[in-house]
């Protein structure tokens, strides 16, 4: 699909029906500027695109200039649409679709026309969005420089069943509570190739003996793997990171827990009556 094919189709339908950009914007609940942006190459949110297709009484496939054999389910349409997005744009386009989904989940009319890309870069104080119901929870960070979405339906037996042992969490936080270990954890995230203890020590300013101890712990947790290379002066121990992408999610959410409690939400839809956990694990209760 060409980048501006949707915009060309919208312009064609609008002019064929003798509508101005302002007319079409009013009919589907957006501004004239939004319609102009589409026709110049922008992409409407999926919920707005569906409204445009519905108004002109055509399918979403026709809207994007595609003929496919599908059930007509939105899941199939999105799958096909994502297949046609260039590789270097897939993540951003997926985020746009997720943002439309999140706005629909919230049910708040005021956020319908809000594009996360208009949020100020670095705005960590007013870009949080959340949906919390007894069915599950959702979170969207709508800042321009780091949009991110997470949705988790509540399991039948509650979120409790998805959590680990309290002692495991304590051990993890105790490990990363050591400043040297935390610096090495961050160093690990910077690596895509093999590295040595010496390089890790030089990069972090930590003595090699401590580096070796911490990296042994990381290996036990599956965060890296040890390898040996034969050099002129003998074998050298090297480490290979195991590309744990969830490290970034972990760091992101941990960062979000450190900000001032004075922040406000861009979108806050809380209809949940039940607590997040149904019971306190036995090993989290104080022993008397």
- Percentage of the chain lying above the pLDDT 90 cut: 38
Angle between helices 46-55 and 90-106 (to 10 degrees): 80
Tell me the CA distances in angstroms from 161 to 72, 153, 156, 164, 277, one per residue in order. 36, 13, 9, 8, 9
pLDDT at 117: 61
Asked whether 30 and 42 are in contact (CB, 8 A), the reply is: no
Name which of 3-7, 105-109, 252-256 the model is least confident about. Answer: 3-7
pLDDT at 59: 75
Query: Does residue 126 carry a pLDDT above 90?
Result: no
**Any idea which fold 166-241 has?**
Arc Repressor Mutant, subunit A (1.10.10)
SS3 label, residue 140:
strand
Within the chain, which residue ranges are assigned CATH 1.10.260.40?
Answer: 5-84
Angle between helices 46-55 and 21-28 (to 10 degrees): 110
Please tell me the distance from the alpha carbon of residue 63 to that of residue 276, in angstroms, as a whole number. 41
Strands 267-270, 128-133: parallel, antiparallel or unpaired by DSSP? Answer: parallel
Query: Does residue 104 carry a pLDDT above 80?
Result: yes
- Average pLDDT value for residue range 34-62: 83
Query: Does residue 288 carry a pLDDT above 50?
Result: no
- Average pLDDT value for residue range 160-179: 93
- Percentage of the chain lying above the pLDDT 70 cut: 88
CATH no. for 5-84: 1.10.260.40
pLDDT at 284: 67
- H-assigned helices in 84-156: 90-106
Torsion of CA 152, 158, 162, 165, to 10 degrees: 140
* pLDDT tens readout for residues 23-39: 999 999 999 998 998 88
Kindly indicate the confidence band of residue 3, based on its pLDDT and cuts at 50, 70 and 90: very low
What's the whole-model pTM score? 0.70
pLDDT at 257: 83
The rounded mean pLDDT for the chain is: 84
Within the chain, which residue ranges are assigned CATH 1.10.10.10?
Answer: 166-241
Query: Does residue 2 carry a pLDDT above 60?
Result: no
The more confidently predicted of residues 226 and 110 is: 226
Residues 6 or more apart whose CB falls under 8 angstroms from that of 4 comprise 40, 41
């Amino acid at each position: 699909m060409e980048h501006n094919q949707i915009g060309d189709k919208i312009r064609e339908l609008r002019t064929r029906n003798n509508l101005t950009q302002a007319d079409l914007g009013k009919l589907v609940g957006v501004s004239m500027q939004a319609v102009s942006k589409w026709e110049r190459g922008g992409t409407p949110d999926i919920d707005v695109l569906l409204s445009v297709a519905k108004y002109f009484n055509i399918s979403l496939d026709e809207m994007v200039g595609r003929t496919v054999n599908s059930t007509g389910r939105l899941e199939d349409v999105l799958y096909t649409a994502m297949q046609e997005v260039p590789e270097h744009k897939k993540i951003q386009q997926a985020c746009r679709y997720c943002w439309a989904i999140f706005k629909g989940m919230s049910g708040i009319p005021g956020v319908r026309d809000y594009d996360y890309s208009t949020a100020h870069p670095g705005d960590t104080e007013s870009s949080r969005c959340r949906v919390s119901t007894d069915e599950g929870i959702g979170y969207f960070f709508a800042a321009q420089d780091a949009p991110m979405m997470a949705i988790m339906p509540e399991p039948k037996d509650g979120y409790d069943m998805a959590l680990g042992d309290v002692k495991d969490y304590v051990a993890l936080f105790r490990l990363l509570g050591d400043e040297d270990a935390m610096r090495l954890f961050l160093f690990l995230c910077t690596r895509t190739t093999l590295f040595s203890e010496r390089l890790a020590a030089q990069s972090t300013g930590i003595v090699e003996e401590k580096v070796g101890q911490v990296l042994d712990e990381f290996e036990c947790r599956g965060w890296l793997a040890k390898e040996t290379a034969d050099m002129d002066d003998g074998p050298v121990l090297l480490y290979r990171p195991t590309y744990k992408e969830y490290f970034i999610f972990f760091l992101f959410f941990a960062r979000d827990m450190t900000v001032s409690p004075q922040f406000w939400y861009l979108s806050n839809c809380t209809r949940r009556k039940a607590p997040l956990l149904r019971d306190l694990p036995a090993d989290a209760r104080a022993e008397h």
